[in-house]
Every structure is written in C-alpha cells, then in structure tokens.
C-alpha cells in the first residue's frame, strides 16, 4: 500500500507526552553503553508530544510533503546508493556525505535497523505521520554533514540541540543537556559545554528545516551554497570547546556519555 493511501493518523497512534521515569531509565542504559543507539529511540518515543505531531501534519499537508509522499522515494536506499552520486563534484553535499559515512563506517540502512530494534515495522502505526517521523530519522547523518558537528560525544549532544529546534521533541533536548552534563562529569573540562548546546539550539532555530528539503536535489548542491540557502551557521562554540578539550589533553573522540574514557565511535 502506498503511503498516500494511509490515514494521516492511525487509530492506534498515541501521543505519549513526556514520561520522565521511562526517559531516565533509558538514559541510564545509554550512559552505560554509548553505542546502544536503541535507547535513543526509546527516549524519543517517550517524549513525542503535540508539537512534534503538529509539525508532522503541517508538512504532510504542504505541497512539498504531498509531492515527496507521492514520489515514494526511500531516503535510506537513495543515500546508500553511492554510485548514484558518482558524477557529483568534490564540494557537493553528496561528496561530503559519502566521505563522512565511509570515514565513520556508517550507512543509512544501519540507522534504520537500529530503530527497528526497539520498534519493529509491524508494531508501528500505519499512517502518514509515521512516514514523517521516519524522514526525520533517515536524514540524521545529513544533519552532521551540513552543520559540521562531529560524532564525538559533544558533537552529538550539540547536534541534538540543533535537532530539537528542527523537530521539537523534548527527549532530544533532554539527551543533549544530560549528555553535556555527563561529559563534564567524566572529563572535568573547563570547556563551556552547555554553551555549545545552546549554540546548537540557536543554529537549529535559525536554519530551514533540513528534513523538509528535496533530499535528491540537496545532495547535488555545493555544500557551501546549501548551508547558505538553508541559513546554517558555523558551530563556533563547539569548535572552541574541542580546542579547549585538546589543550587539556582530552581528545573529543575519547569522550563518552558514561564513566569510561576509552575511544568509542558515537552512536547516532
């Protein structure tokens, strides 16, 4: 069945609001294992509120939303088809995205698989609202590429600040600030970590919504031009924090949300 044939909101869809005890439970698990991406999806699901749903419904009703639904393009399959972008220049979004994904050992399909650990597709509501939430998930690594936030723990936390202003999920904001607090606790750094989160929020608020873009067209844009068009500013405070951390002998990629400082790749 095409997504255009589905209802806007399925009868079994529930707006969870904010469930603090569930959030704290899953954040504790994320602290124990920063690679456990599944916990992020649990937190996000426990905090989806009316604002997230209202934004979803407004986009779905828009001409762009209607066009993207009708086209029925799988964003993960498109992004993972690196051969599709072979003719793109070295300074395009596509070239930067592919370099990022190869360097980090990531795939768009891998993020989808992580999300399915906590919620298999058959358990999710069959509606157009889910199509929108899937779109938010599927564009996550494009957020990294366009904003310049790395996959170190502070980069992920700062990007979540940016993402909150784009997507309005309070769980994302909770993880951002709780993550910054945990980084400071683990490292003892003098870097202004919370200012980096605040900067991420400011940049996300000012920028056009990345998940609402024509992703195929965006991939072929010059990355500097795309950032300018989308009004994505530079993460200067974040970079200052990384410089301070380096001066303290702490490498950004060594930071974790938990008690260990052993190098680990950061989960999306």
CA distance 1 to 265: 38
Q: Would you state the pLDDT for residue 172?
A: 82
Q: Would you state the pLDDT for residue 28?
A: 61
pTM of the model: 0.84
Q: Would you state the pLDDT for residue 15?
A: 65
Which residues neighbour 130 within 8 Å (Cβ) at sequence distance 6 or greater?
A: 10, 13, 124
Q: Would you state the pLDDT for residue 260?
A: 27
Sequence ranges of the domains in the chain: 16-254
Q: What is the pLDDT along the chain (268 residues), one digit of tens a residue?
A: 799 999 999 998 876 555 555 655 656 665 555 555 556 656 666 555 678 889 999 999 999 999 999 999 999 999 999 999 999 999 999 999 999 999 999 999 999 998 887 678 888 889 999 999 999 999 999 999 999 999 888 998 999 999 999 988 887 888 899 889 989 988 899 999 999 999 999 999 999 999 999 999 999 999 999 999 999 999 999 999 999 999 999 865 556 543 222 222 233 3
Q: Would you state the pLDDT for residue 45?
A: 62
Q: Would you state the pLDDT for residue 31?
A: 57
């Amino acid at each position: 069945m095409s997504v255009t044939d589905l209802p806007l909101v399925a009868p079994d869809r529930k707006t969870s609001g904010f469930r603090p005890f569930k959030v704290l439970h899953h954040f504790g698990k994320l602290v124990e294992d920063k690679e456990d991406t599944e916990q992020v999806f649990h937190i996000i699901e426990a905090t989806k509120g009316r604002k997230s749903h209202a934004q979803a419904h407004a986009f779905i009703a828009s001409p762009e939303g209607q066009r993207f639904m009708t086209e029925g393009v799988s964003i993960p399959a498109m992004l993972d088809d690196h051969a599709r972008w072979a003719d793109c220049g070295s300074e395009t979004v596509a070239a930067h995205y592919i370099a990022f994904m190869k360097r980090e050992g990531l795939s768009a399909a891998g993020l989808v698989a992580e999300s399915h650990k906590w919620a298999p597709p058959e358990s999710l509501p069959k509606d157009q609202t889910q199509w929108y939430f899937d779109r938010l998930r599927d564009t996550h690594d494009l957020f990294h590429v366009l904003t310049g936030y790395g996959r170190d723990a502070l980069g992920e936390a700062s990007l979540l600040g940016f993402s909150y202003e784009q997507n309005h999920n309070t769980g994302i904001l909770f993880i951002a600030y709780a993550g910054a607090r945990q980084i400071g606790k683990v490292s003892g750094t003098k870097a202004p970590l919370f200012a980096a989160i605040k900067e991420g929020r400011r940049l996300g608020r000012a920028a056009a919504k990345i998940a609402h873009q024509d992703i195929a067209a965006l991939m072929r844009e010059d990355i500097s031009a795309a950032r300018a068009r989308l009004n994505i500013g530079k993460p200067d405070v974040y970079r200052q924090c990384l410089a301070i951390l380096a001066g303290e002998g702490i490498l950004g990629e060594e930071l974790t949300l938990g008690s260990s400082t052993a190098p680990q790749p950061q989960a999306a």
